[in-house]
Amino acid sequence: MRGKGMGDAPIRAFRHAYEYLASGRAALIAEADIEPVAQLPRYDELTKNPADGALLSQALVLKLNGGLGTGMGLDKAKSLLPVKDGLTFLDFIARQILYLRERYQSPLPFLLMNSFSTSADTRDFLKAYPALGEPATLELMQSAAPKVDAQTLAPASWPRDPALEWCPPGHGDLYPSLLGSGRLDRLLDAGVKYLFVSNSDNLGASLDLDLLRYFATSDQSFLMEVCERTPSDRKGGHLARRGGKYLLRESAQCPEAELPTFQDIQRHRFFNTNNLWVRLDRLKELLDASGGFIPLPIIKNSKTLDPRDKTSPKVFQLETAMGAAIECFENAGAIVVPRARFAPVKTTSDLLALRSDAYRVTDDWRLTLADECRGVPPTIDLDADHYKMTDQLDASLKDGVPSLARCRELTVRGPVNFNAENVFVGKVRITNANATPKPIPAGEYRDVEKELA
């Protein structure tokens, strides 16, 4: 890690993760050791004053931008994927920041946490927005960690492509990277106090002035935006309490016998959106007290050394999640936000929803759910054999994007071609049993199962 230019803080963080791996300890959180979270403050209950931008000069917007989206067939930064009206995630993010700066006449600092895989493409793209600042000054580099050989626990070796010996250590690396880069001290010296961080592929997560004011006046050190779990969220992590503090429990941390309770959305009601608010002065105190890193729970991802070669050696990628820091801060909290603030694109099904009329673009360049959706996005299930990759989805949309604003569920099996005259309402299933793509005839499809002849 030193040879690759990593500083003391990320090295200490990796050492903590590696020692945990080598110890063989299981990171399980039993149901008997936690308490469900029954009630939380809600965004809908906040006093609203969106014209008040007084705190913007003390705020920083940071977007996590280290992912490539390889699961969707991408080989560049995922944020460079066109998402709506020909604009990419980064187009929307840049325009959101510039809107806020101009609207409130505030400098509003902005950073992207890039990985070694996304840095060059992102910097090049940002040249199109000179008003944001010099691209190099907008970058916080995520550190790199060695992949660990699953058999020997030695650093993985792959001479044919040494770059594959390394991996990003998860977005929990945000904290040591802020410290180790010197950026945290510079921000504090400049009077920046409140950090808002979210994923670059979640365009619902813009800086909200009412949330900023709530966070500032609450005097909390850390605030997590959460949403109500629905049946489609039951396998994801949830918020809980232990020893008087909040914590996140992921499925990998749950004993297998307790998975039914883990998935009980009436018992464990809230999940982390990964939209987080952090007091930078309190973060500095915590990092100083813990040796330059936060001892977050370790996520052990089992992979092959070369993701494209399933015969390559088995490795562990040791990662941490930044949201897990909620149990490390004193006076940490959570707030329930509308589902519209959680619109990540993890699959082409998510991408189809954003490209459709189920989402609209606001004057301040946010993507919000259309009124017809009544606060709930459509559930879309596209056949992975035909739509897993973005180029496959693009091909199916060459004649236009269907209307989904009044659609509750859309399931597609087999290869089809959509068009702009398709209107899906309620619960719709489209099936093509043939190998050749077939067009969906123009018209409205309401609560129907349609087989293409």
Return the pLDDT at 25. 79
Whether 308 and 396 map to the same domain: the answer is no
**Residues whose CB is less than 8 angstroms from the CB of residue 358 and which lie 6 or more positions away in sequence, other chains included:** 369, 370, 372, 373, 377, 378, 404, 405, 407
- Choosing from 293, 318, 341, the residue where a domain stops is 341
Sign of the torsion angle spanned by Cα atoms 76, 78, 79, 80: positive
Q: By residue range, what is the domain housing residue 370? A: 348-451
Whether 104 and 245 map to the same domain: the answer is yes
Q: Tell me the mean pLDDT in the region 177-184.
A: 93
Return the pLDDT at 251. 87
Are 149 and 22 in contact by the 8 Å Cβ rule? The answer is: no
Whether 249 and 300 map to the same domain: the answer is yes
Q: How confident is the model at residue 98 (pLDDT cuts 50, 70, 90)?
A: very high
Whether 335 and 355 map to the same domain: the answer is no
Whether 302 and 370 map to the same domain: the answer is no
Q: Tell me the mean pLDDT in the region 387-393.
A: 95
Name beta bridge partners: 198: 63
Whether 289 and 249 map to the same domain: the answer is yes
**CATH at residue 419:** 2.160.10.10
Residue with token string 């325009």 = 95
Would the pLDDT of 447 be above 80?
yes
Return the pLDDT at 232. 81
Q: Tell me the mean pLDDT in the region 182-196.
A: 97
Q: Tell me the mean pLDDT in the region 370-389.
A: 93
Would the pLDDT of 293 be above 90?
no
Strands 222-228 and 332-336: parallel
Would the pLDDT of 313 be above 90?
yes
Q: How many domains does the chain have?
A: 2
38 within a domain of the structure (yes/no): yes
287 within a domain of the structure (yes/no): yes
Would the pLDDT of 27 be above 80?
no
Q: Using CA atoms, how far apart are residues 119 and 77, in angstroms rounded to an integer? A: 8
Q: How confident is the model at residue 218 (pLDDT cuts 50, 70, 90)?
A: very high
Return the pLDDT at 272. 95
316 within a domain of the structure (yes/no): yes
* Residue pLDDT, tens place only, 58-69: 999 999 999 887
Whether 318 and 375 map to the same domain: the answer is no
Q: Using CA atoms, how far apart are residues 73 and 155, in angstroms rounded to an integer? A: 28
Return the pLDDT at 263. 96
Whether 370 and 254 map to the same domain: the answer is no
Are 231 and 99 in contact by the 8 Å Cβ rule? The answer is: no
- The angle subtended at Cα 179 by Cα 178 and Cα 180, nearest 5°, is 100
Q: Tell me the mean pLDDT in the region 159-163.
A: 93
**CATH at residue 259:** 3.90.550.10
Select the more confidently predicted residue: 29 or 453: 29
Would the pLDDT of 26 be above 80?
no
61 within a domain of the structure (yes/no): yes
Return the pLDDT at 250. 87
Return the pLDDT at 19. 94
pTM (global) more than 0.75? yes
Would the pLDDT of 252 be above 90?
no
Return the pLDDT at 100. 95
**How much of the chain exceeds pLDDT 90, in percent?**
81
Return the pLDDT at 308. 81
Spell out the SS3 assignment of the chain.
Answer: CCCCCCCHHHHHHHHHHHHHHHHCCCCCCCHHHCEECCCCCEHHHCCCCCCCCHHHHHEEEEEEECCCCHHHCCCCCHHHCEEECCEEHHHHHHHHHHHHHHHHCCCCCEEEEECCCCHHHHHHHHCCCHHHCCHHHHEEECCCEECEECCCCCECCCCCCHHHHEECCCHHHHHHHHHHCCHHHHHHHCCCCEEEEEECCECCCCCCHHHHHHHHHHCCCEEEEEEECCHHHCCCCEEEEECCEEEEECHHHCCHHHHHHHCCCCCCCEEEEEEEEEEHHHHHHHHHHCCCCCCCCCEEEEEECCCCCCCCCEEEEEECCHHHHHHCCCCEEEEECCHHHCCECCCHHHHHHHHCCCEEECCCCCEEECHHHCCCCCEEEECHHHHCCHHHHHHHCCECCCECCCEEEEEEECCEECECCEEEEEEEEEECCCCCCEECCCEEEEEEEEECC
* Residue pLDDT, tens place only, 101-160: 999 999 999 999 999 889 999 999 999 999 999 999 999 999 999 999 999 999 999 999
2 within a domain of the structure (yes/no): no
Would the pLDDT of 24 be above 90?
no
Whether 81 and 187 map to the same domain: the answer is yes
Return the pLDDT at 225. 98
Q: Tell me the mean pLDDT in the region 240-260.
A: 92
Return the pLDDT at 146. 97
Would the pLDDT of 196 be above 90?
yes
176 within a domain of the structure (yes/no): yes
Are 93 and 200 in contact by the 8 Å Cβ rule? The answer is: yes
Whether 51 and 187 map to the same domain: the answer is yes
Return the pLDDT at 42. 98
Whether 375 and 260 map to the same domain: the answer is no
Residues in the chain: 453
* Residue pLDDT, tens place only, 228-237: 998 888 888 8
Would the pLDDT of 186 be above 80?
yes
Q: Which of 105-119, 185-199, 404-418 has the lowest mean pLDDT?
A: 105-119
Return the pLDDT at 75. 78
